[in-house]
Structure 1
């Protein structure tokens, strides 16, 4: 029985790493060098300075990711706008069905004529939106 308890105790705790980092190095920087190191560290997006410095020393590839919040906001709004556009299309189909179901053909045609004018205006507005989004993408995103 005592042997079983000892075996259970051995299994507890953190599993040992295959290559533990046990060697420590200290170096000093001037204010200017430190500012440059910190700016490079922030640009890299890494979450650990030690890993960043080791990657720089051993010339590993360091990826920098620039996140433009304006671009993200633009895409999010464009996505919600697209969802609204789809819902307008669904509502449009439902409205046409209801018009023909509840009104005479002549009266339904009159209402559809008004709806068609509004749809034409909306289509021209969507063309402008598409043009503006393409210009935005060419100017700001594809750099």
Structure 2
């Protein structure tokens, strides 16, 4: 009976690792060194400090991805603005069709003249946005 219990106990618990980490090393850091190590660890995005230190020691390739939230916000708002420009272009085409369908040519031309002025202002605004975007990329996205 005891022999059966011993056999059953061997099959329970966590399976042993193939290559367990058994050697331990301790080192001490100054406050500045510790702050630098912690900032590198946070920037790396790794969730295990021991694996991070091993990666640094043995010069394995360490990938760090830095996300600039301001640039991400700027890009998303710029994309929304250009989608609105496209929507205005679609509306512009629809207005031109409606004007020629429902009004005389003279009246339609008068309304189109007003629409052209607004379109020219929008084109200038678009050029300013492009210029500001180029400046932003040159200054902050290196």
* Range class of TM-score, shorter chain: 0.7 to 0.9
Greater relative contact order structure (CA < 8 Å, 6+ sep): 2
Query: Following TM superposition, by how much is the alpha carbon of 1:29 offset from its aligned partner in structure 2, in angstroms?
Result: 2.1
Cα pair distance change 1:73/1:15, threshold 3 Å: farther
TM-score by length of 2: 0.81
User: What secondary structure, in the 3-state scheme, does the structure 1 residue paired with 2:22 have?
Assistant: coil
Q: Distance in 2 between matches of 1:127 and 1:88?
A: 16
1:71 maps to what in 2? 71
Unaligned runs of 5+ in 2: 1-10
Stretches of structure 1 that go unaligned for 5 or more consecutive residues are 1-9
Name the structure 1 match of 2:37.
37
Relative to structure 1, the CA distance from residue 24 to residue 79 in structure 2 (aligned partners, 3 Å threshold; closer, same or farther) is farther
Matches within 5 A, 1:6-85: 19-32=18-31, 33-85=33-85
TM-score by length of 1: 0.80
Stretches of 4+ aligned residues off by more than 3 angstroms: 13-17, 19-22
Looking at structure 1, the residues matched to 127 and 117 of structure 2 have their Cα atoms a distance apart, in angstroms, of 16
Cα gap change, 1:16 to 1:103, in 2 (>3 Å): farther
- Structure 1 pair 118/31, CA: closer, same or farther in 2 (3 Å)? same
**Deviation readout 1:58-99 (Å, 9 max, x if unpaired):** 111212222111111110111111111111111111111111
TM-align CA RMSD: 2.2
